[in-house]
Amino acid sequence: MSGYWRSPRLWVHLLVLRPLLRFVFGVTVVGKENLRDLDRFVLIANHNSHLDVLLLYTIVPVPYLVRTSAVVARDYFARFPRLVKVLEYLFRPVWVDRVQQDTDPVSEIIGRLDAGENIIIFPEGTRGDPGRLQEFKTGIGRVLAARREVPVVPVHLFGPERSFPRAAPVPLPLWNHVTVGPPQLVHGERHEITATLQQAITDIERTVSAGRHRRTERPRRTRLVAVLGIDGSGKSTLSRRVAEAVSVRGRVGWVGDTLTLFEGGAPQDLQPLQTERLREWMGQQAKQAKSLAHYKIPKLTELLLRDRVVEETRRWYAPVLTVTDGSPLLNMTAWAVLYREEHFTEEFCGRAVAIMSSRGERLGARDPLLKQFPELRVLLRLGLNRLSLPDAVLFLDVPPAVALDRIASRGERQQVHETEEKLTKLADAYRLLCRVLVEQYGVPTLRLDGRRPLEDVVAETIAFVAAAEGDG
Amino acid sequence: MQPELPLPTVLLIALGVLTVGLGAWALLRRDRPAAPWLRYLWTFLAVLNVAAWWSFVAAVWLLALFSFRTLREYFSLVDIRLEDRWGILGAYLSIPFMTILIQVDWYGFFIVSIPVYAFIIVPFLVVLGGREARGTVLSIGAIDFGLFLFVYCMGHLGYLLLFRVTWATLFIGGVALANAVEALVVGDRPITVRRGVGMLAIAVPITMAGAVAVQPYTEFALGHSLGIGALIPTLVLAGSYTVTAIERDLGIAPDALAPGRGQVIHGTRAYLFAAPIVFHYIRYFLEE
């Protein structure tokens, strides 16, 4: 054993190559314990760079270092005879000639394994495209099918494809991550072996490269789903549950009494939006109002702010879906219908929606619509006519009497507008709106019976949202 | 009047006690790993002690190595194109370029070295290396910003060291205090208005009192001691707040920090904003 430590090759590795790699490039090794106590092994790794083989030598345990050889392509290095000598010294490679194919590397590899050596091999054969795993060559399968008792250790290299990619003339100091998978014994015939090992490295790759910084993400249209319903219909609960359930597929924003971002079925921390704070405060003011006159202005402001919050959520957090409790555009239209029901027909309703969401509708100074809906003038003057039209609408239909019971059972103070007469009218207005949305805007709309158990309603809603997504 | 023990030694003793205390606490509560900001505090303390006991030149080059480490981590995480490689090489090379200017105390050139020369040369190199124009603007922005934050801002600490080691020590100590308060008040949660204000309300009086307490060492006037005491935590908070967003974009997870995966950036983020501003405050008002 003392002769082993006298090998200069060992010290070149330990004192020159390893420190150089660590100091210039930086190396993190995860799972080094997977190489411990193995008598012999075959290391396989993805291949993207000349650094790969150096990195793999840094993880080989010291007692095995001299007894380890790498499989290297001779046809590539044949152009640099001096480099071949250096490689010959450092790695005692098994040369593979991909052009002449005069030797049989597989039998040589098997011979070295039988002599008690370890082998480092890149089953892809070439360096390939940066960061993309290529189809494995079958050589690895042939070797292992012949020596099934030798454990294979899959290793994933992350970083060399950036620090020294194929197309680059010089390496750059950039960090490298080496992830060592658990050793495994192979089963089956060659092709199965090759496929299993490729899967093993792909699996590591998936966990390692998650969350990688990508400068330009695919532009994504984030969809907006609004849940309508009279107070006490349970739309807040429903929309929250839907947001929670859909968020297993990706990030979902929920705008209800508060703004919450769901990911993986759980609420996430988020940097607060100032608009949202203002809106919450406004909402409280509206809830505490004692008369309708005191209610209207805070509620209107709250609705307009809510629309801003929806827009900001979609812009800053880019969720796959935003679910809102109510929709400022539709709520305001519904209230207008409620107060002036004698004028409001489907046509008027459609035009009001078009104007408030800036959909190309023009409004003359003496338009009859302005007479019936004078608030529009104010909205237009303030430039508040860019409210967002939802991509899908759910209407949770509950008889007003039931809704009032629910409000009472919640123990909340009854808000000023919450009377049976008003709520009935409001529900009618929402029904009218839903018709308009389907007929004039092609917005998919679903009417749900709010008296059914919540689970059923949630399930139906999720199916509907998924179907609506499929359309777009 | 010069006190008997040099300030870095006093600070080192104090921090030794603090670290042993924290270490004992961490041993008791194994589920919580040591704070990342504490790890790099030791690096800065080593630099300070090298400057105090041995050689300013060695300290500045140690700091340069540390800048390299931070910049390398940043470039390892940010999405780069193949065309940007020469620009990145130029960015790395501007570290020794700037460090030599600190070493020879050439202030006029140091202060323009990166914002003028490197910021002209790096884009030139990026475009020179490019076959594809698309993405040039974002690449230049990403490289220049990294260079600015992790080299230029850090370089000001080196120059502060050149002015006087005690001033650099005051700065490092102030940032460490602010950092400790931030770790207690904010932790890994997002920085909200309430937490930010809470952090300042605790940290500002502490750093102010600290700056006044070390007045015999720094020889600052009372007003300036208070000013710097207020400045440091504010800038630490602003720096942390900004770098948090950068970390998120780069995919750095605060609960899975590792070298090459954001550990260095996360551990030094508090120093980056504070160093240049505190440096210029001292240079403008106090350095004779």
Rounded mean pLDDT, A39-50: 90
**The two structure tokens encoding residue A10:** 């060992």
Q: Which residues pair with A252 in a beta bridge?
A: A262, A321
Tell me whether B55 touches chain A (CB under 8 Å). no
Tell me whether B92 touches chain A (CB under 8 Å). yes
- For A176, phi and psi rounded to 5 degrees? -120, 135
Is 80 exceeded by the pLDDT of residue A293?
A: no
pLDDT in tens, A296-310: 888 888 888 888 888
CA of B214, closest CA in chain A: separation in Å? 37
DSSP string, A415-465: PTT--HHHHHHHHHHHHHHHHHIIIII---EEEEETTS-HHHHHHHHHHHH
Beta strands per DSSP E along A249-297: 252-255, 259-263, 266-268
Q: Helix and strand tally (H, E) in chain B?
A: 13, 0
Which helix H or strand E contains B145, and what residues bound it?
helix B136-147
pLDDT in tens, B260-285: 888 899 989 999 999 999 999 999 99
Residue of A27, A51, A215 to mutate, interface with B, max B Cβ within 10 Å: A215
pLDDT value for B19 = 64
Q: What is the CA radius of gyration of chain A?
A: 34
pLDDT in tens, B53-65: 889 999 999 999 9
Residue of B76, B122, B261 to mutate, interface with A, max A Cβ within 10 Å: B76
Residue of A172, A217, A268, A278 to mutate, interface with B, max B Cβ within 10 Å: A172
Rounded mean pLDDT, A268-287: 82
Tell me whether B138 touches chain A (CB under 8 Å). yes
Residue of B65, B80, B85, B189 to mutate, interface with A, max A Cβ within 10 Å: B85
CA of A442, closest CA in chain B: separation in Å? 37
Q: Which of A431, A163, A302, A119 is nearest to B89 (CA)?
A: A163
pLDDT value for A126 = 79
Say which of B79, B245, B253 has its CB closest to residue A211: B253
Residue of A21, A162, A213, A260 to mutate, interface with B, max B Cβ within 10 Å: A213
Chain B positions in Cβ-Cβ contact with residue A216 (cut-off 8 Å):
135
Is 70 exceeded by the pLDDT of residue B95?
A: yes
B72 contacts A162? CB cut-off 8 A? no
Chain B positions in Cβ-Cβ contact with residue A213 (cut-off 8 Å):
77-79, 249-251
More confident residue, A425 or B70: B70
B192 contacts A172? CB cut-off 8 A? no
Tell me whether A218 touches chain B (CB under 8 Å). no
B68 contacts A170? CB cut-off 8 A? no
Cα–Cα dist B249/B225, whole Å = 37
Tell me whether A327 touches chain B (CB under 8 Å). no
Q: Is A154 helix (H, G, I), strand (E, B) or coil?
A: strand
Report the chain A residue with the minimal C-alpha distance to residue B262: A175
| Average pLDDT score, chain A | 84
CA of A275, closest CA in chain B: separation in Å? 14
Report the chain B residue with the minimal C-alpha distance to residue A174: B76
Chain A positions in Cβ-Cβ contact with residue B138 (cut-off 8 Å):
215
Cα–Cα dist A77/A343, whole Å = 86
**Residue A470 class from Cβ within 10 Å (0-12 exposed, 13-18 middle, 19+ buried)?**
exposed
Chain A positions in Cβ-Cβ contact with residue B250 (cut-off 8 Å):
213
Give the pLDDT band (50/70/90) at residue A472.
very low
pLDDT in tens, A101-156: 777 888 889 999 999 899 999 988 877 777 777 788 888 888 888 888 899 999 99
Tell me whether A21 touches chain B (CB under 8 Å). no
Question: Distances from the Cα of A315 to the Cαs of A272, A273, A278, in angstroms?
Answer: 14, 12, 18
Report the chain B residue with the minimal C-alpha distance to residue A269: B190
Report the chain A residue with the minimal C-alpha distance to residue B78: A213
In total, the C-beta contacts within 8 angstroms joining chain A to chain B are 68
The answer to whether the CB of A243 falls within 8 A of the CB of A262 is yes
Give the pLDDT band (50/70/90) at residue B122.
very high
Question: Distances from the Cα of B134 to the Cαs of B81, B83, B126, B140, B235, in angstroms?
Answer: 10, 10, 12, 12, 36
pLDDT value for A211 = 65
pLDDT value for B1 = 44
pLDDT in tens, A211-239: 677 765 555 567 888 998 888 888 888 88
Cα–Cα dist A152/B260, whole Å = 27
**Residue A453 class from Cβ within 10 Å (0-12 exposed, 13-18 middle, 19+ buried)?**
exposed
Say which of A167, A175, A216 has its CB closest to residue B72: A175
| Average pLDDT score, chain B | 87
Tell me whether B192 touches chain A (CB under 8 Å). yes
pLDDT value for A278 = 87
pLDDT in tens, A317-366: 778 889 998 888 888 888 888 777 776 778 888 888 888 887 766 777 77
Tell me whether B193 touches chain A (CB under 8 Å). yes
pLDDT value for A471 = 52
More confident residue, A211 or B137: B137
A269 contacts B190? CB cut-off 8 A? yes
Rounded mean pLDDT, B87-105: 95
CA of B12, closest CA in chain A: separation in Å? 27
Tell me whether B82 touches chain A (CB under 8 Å). yes
The answer to whether the CB of A287 falls within 8 A of the CB of A410 is no
Is 90 exceeded by the pLDDT of residue B202?
A: yes
pTM, two decimal places: 0.69
pLDDT in tens, A237-266: 888 888 888 888 888 889 888 888 888 888
Rounded mean pLDDT, B91-117: 95
CA of A384, closest CA in chain B: separation in Å? 28
**Residue B230 class from Cβ within 10 Å (0-12 exposed, 13-18 middle, 19+ buried)?**
middle
A167 contacts B89? CB cut-off 8 A? no
A177 contacts B260? CB cut-off 8 A? yes
Report the chain B residue with the minimal C-alpha distance to residue A210: B251
Give the pLDDT band (50/70/90) at residue A2.
low
Say which of A130, A162, A213 has its CB closest to residue B251: A213
Tell me whether A472 touches chain B (CB under 8 Å). no
> For A272, left (φ over 0), alpha (ψ -120 to 50), or beta?
beta
pLDDT in tens, B138-183: 999 999 999 999 999 999 999 999 998 888 988 998 998 898 888 8
Query: Checking DSSP bridges between strand A94-96 and strand A68-73, what pairing results, if any?
Result: parallel
The answer to whether the CB of B85 falls within 8 A of the CB of B125 is no
pLDDT value for B152 = 95
